[in-house]
């Protein structure tokens, strides 16, 4: 049977197994499953619903829009949705009314959130910048933010759910210094009479490697998807399974003579008579031009190198004299169990992190969801049924 031109297969059983394993490692610390950037290219709604079905009680969604999208498909108030990147002109009213937890990176954001309170108290996580210089207020502005937050708590407008920071992951010493600054900010809040019920600082890598950074909750994204962030560590080393497999079909095969130039600029010329197979996936689908000469894809368990320039919609592989035919399945990356590279190996070959690869896979590559975990709410969502 002919394979589809292109598809990304998402194994939700693997995702749930990864969740179970990571939660076991982190116990008793709470795990927030981060599903930003369309769940790192794996699909926001199915992955988030699978996480909830697996017992996850916190989802990190980045934006209010994504939080409201998940509320609209049936993710109820029993699941906390944390959004921390806000449009400067965002009206927070729908977010507050929908019980979305809002990251706060400054006094202005806090005031706008408080002004949006109508039907229910706003839930906020106060961000402190400990050295990454992205989210959160600078340390010298932290006392004013904490003081104003306490006033809004007393006024019944705001509930301070947590204080959070994000680490630069530059070195153990620099991360430890950042955590010390975070602890100092927590001490300031305590001295100002502002209780902080939940503390979260560590994302995937430091949460794995530095237990003392875990506090009350960790934010996990790539680990749950089988893309560990620890240098030199594969998913299989940790017992995790890559969740996405990227596949295409062999669309054309062509026999060429020795010396034949291939694709744009003839950056490859056949050194012998050989067969070329065309795979209809290109740089519009996250296969960069730099993959030429660095990446091999698998057909029937055998690896074949990408040759010639990767084009927008296709690339070629040199299959030699092997019996490769139109319609055969080409696996670009997956679990590694059938001869293919993993996405982590792609990242190592291309000098990028695996998340960069999966996030760039565009919408013309259909996501196909597999596994028993598709049952229930995921299946209903995929069928378009109301939640």
CA distance 39 to 60: 10
CA distance 325 to 307: 18
Of 164, 182, 252, 264, which residue is the catalytic one?
Answer: 264
CA distance 381 to 16: 17
Q: Which two tokens stand for residue 105?
A: 């990176």
Single out the residue of 64, 99, 102 nearest to residue 78, CA to CA. Answer: 99
CA distance 314 to 197: 52
CA distance 246 to 333: 6
What φ, ψ does residue 76 adopt, rounded to 5°? -85, -175
Q: Are the CB atoms for 138 and 174 separated by under 8 Å?
A: no
Q: How many CA atoms lie within 13 A of 229 on its CB side?
A: 18
Single out the residue of 302, 289, 368 nearest to residue 331, CA to CA. Answer: 302
Single out the residue of 196, 65, 28 nearest to residue 128, CA to CA. Answer: 196
H-helix or E-strand spanning residue 252: strand 252-256
Single out the residue of 72, 79, 30 nearest to residue 53, CA to CA. Answer: 79
Q: Which two tokens stand for residue 152?
A: 């809004």
Q: Which two tokens stand for residue 311?
A: 């084009």
Q: Which two tokens stand for residue 113?
A: 């959130």
Integer distance in angstroms from the first to the last C-alpha of the chain? 35
Whether 254 is a known active-site residue: answer no
Q: Are the CB atoms for 304 and 297 separated by under 8 Å?
A: yes
Whether 264 is a known active-site residue: answer yes
Of 36, 182, 283, 381, which residue is the catalytic one?
Answer: 36
Answer whether the bond into residue 28 is a cis peptide, omega within 30°. Answer: yes
Active site residues: 36, 264
């Amino acid at each position: 049977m002919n394979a589809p031109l292109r598809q990304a297969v998402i194994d939700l059983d693997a995702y749930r197994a990864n969740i179970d394993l990571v939660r076991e490692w982190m116990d008793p610390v709470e795990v927030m499953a981060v599903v930003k950037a369309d769940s790192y290219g794996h699909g926001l709604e199915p992955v988030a619903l699978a996480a909830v079905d697996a017992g996850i009680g916190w989802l990190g969604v980045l934006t209010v829009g994504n939080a409201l999208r998940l509320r609209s498909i049936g993710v109820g108030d029993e699941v906390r949705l944390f959004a921390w990147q806000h449009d400067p002109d965002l009206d927070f009213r729908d977010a507050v009314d929908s019980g979305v937890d809002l990251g706060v990176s400054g006094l202005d954001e806090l005031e706008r959130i408080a002004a949006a309170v109508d039907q229910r108290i706003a839930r906020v996580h106060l961000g402190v910048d400990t050295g990454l210089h992205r989210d959160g207020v600078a340390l010298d502005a932290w006392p004013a933010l904490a003081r104003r937050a306490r006033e809004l708590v007393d006024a019944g407008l705001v509930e301070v759910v947590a204080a959070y920071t994000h680490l630069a992951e530059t070195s153990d010493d620099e991360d430890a210094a950042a955590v010390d600054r975070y602890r100092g900010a927590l001490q300031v809040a305590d001295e100002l009479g502002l209780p902080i019920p939940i503390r979260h600082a560590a994302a995937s890598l430091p949460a794995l490697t530095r237990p003392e950074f875990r506090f009350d909750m960790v934010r996990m994204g790539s680990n749950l998807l089988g893309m560990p962030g620890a240098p030199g560590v594969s998913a299989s080393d940790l017992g995790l399974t890559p969740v996405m497999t990227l596949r295409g079909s062999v669309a054309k095969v062509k026999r060429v003579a020795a010396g034949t130039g291939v694709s744009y600029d003839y950056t490859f010329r056949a050194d012998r008579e050989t067969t070329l197979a065309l795979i209809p996936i290109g740089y519009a689908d996250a296969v960069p031009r730099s993959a030429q000469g660095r990446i091999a894809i698998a057909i029937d368990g055998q690896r074949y190198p990408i040759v010639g320039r990767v084009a927008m919609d296709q690339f070629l592989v040199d299959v030699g004299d092997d019996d490769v035919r139109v319609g055969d399945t080409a696996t670009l990356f997956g679990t590694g169990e059938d001869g293919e590279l993993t996405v982590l190996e792609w990242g190592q070959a291309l000098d990028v992190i695996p998340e960069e690869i999966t996030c760039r896979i565009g919408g013309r590559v259909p996501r196909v969801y597999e596994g028993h975990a598709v049952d229930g709410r995921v299946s209903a969502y995929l069928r378009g049924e109301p939640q």
